[in-house]
Amino acid sequence: MVVDRVDQVETTMMKSPTIEDLYRAHWAPLVRLALVMTGDRGRAEDLVHDVFIRLALRPLPFDPTTYLRRMVINATRDHHRRIRVERGLVLSPPPPVINPEVDEIIEFLKRLPERQRHALALRYYADMDVAQIARALDCPAGTVKSLLHRGIDALRKELNA
């Protein structure tokens, strides 16, 4: 009985995942990543939705987890480029207050330059190292270190004020 179940699990894991499997498994982590990068849940869900729709139109990649994360990071960066151009954009209402301290930090992060915010989110939420962030943001490792340093320094000043 137990052997049958182990066989079933192994067979499932060896099968290549379908788009539906990927959607079920990665939707939440990807929306969370987009959320900490954008600060807006509605936009985060839209970005991830578009990423999955694009993925459905092409053959599935060899390493879907890394690929999807990269697609979401790129989509978030593109999204910020677009909204920089759009003037008079109506932003979604702010999310409900979870915890005053968390809310204070999140509100402060929204005021940071987007590259600093993206670098902080990738380092302290996605747990990516400097080299990975540099590849994701398409900039040198030294720039990433500088973005992280300035971001943390600004946050420290804000929290100490």
DSSP string, 49-112: HHHHHHHHTSPPPSSHHHHHHHHHHHHHHHHHHHHHH-SS--PPPPPPPS-HHHHHHHHHHHHS
Minimum CB separation of residue 31 from another protein in Å reads: 5
Q: Is 67 in the site for another protein (CB under 8 A)?
A: no
Q: Is 91 in the site for another protein (CB under 8 A)?
A: no
Q: Is 83 in the site for another protein (CB under 8 A)?
A: no
Helices (H), strands (E): how many in the chain?
A: 8, 0
Q: Is 27 in the site for another protein (CB under 8 A)?
A: yes
* Helical pair 130-137 and 64-85, crossing angle rounded to 10 deg: 50
| Coil/strand/helix, residue 129 | coil
Q: Is 49 in the site for another protein (CB under 8 A)?
A: yes
Minimum CB separation of residue 3 from another protein in Å reads: 30
Q: Which residue among 47, 51, 52, 79 contacts another protein (CB under 8 A)?
A: 52
Q: Is 95 in the site for another protein (CB under 8 A)?
A: yes
Burial class from Cβ neighbours inside 10 Å (0-12, 13-18, 19+) for residue 61 reads middle
d(CA 135, CA 132): 5
Q: Choose between 91 and 159: whose C-beta lies nearer to another protein.
A: 159
Q: Choose between 36 and 147: whose C-beta lies nearer to another protein.
A: 36
Q: Which residue among 60, 83, 105, 141 contacts another protein (CB under 8 A)?
A: 105
Show contacts with another protein in window 117-146 (CB under 8 A). 120-121, 124-125
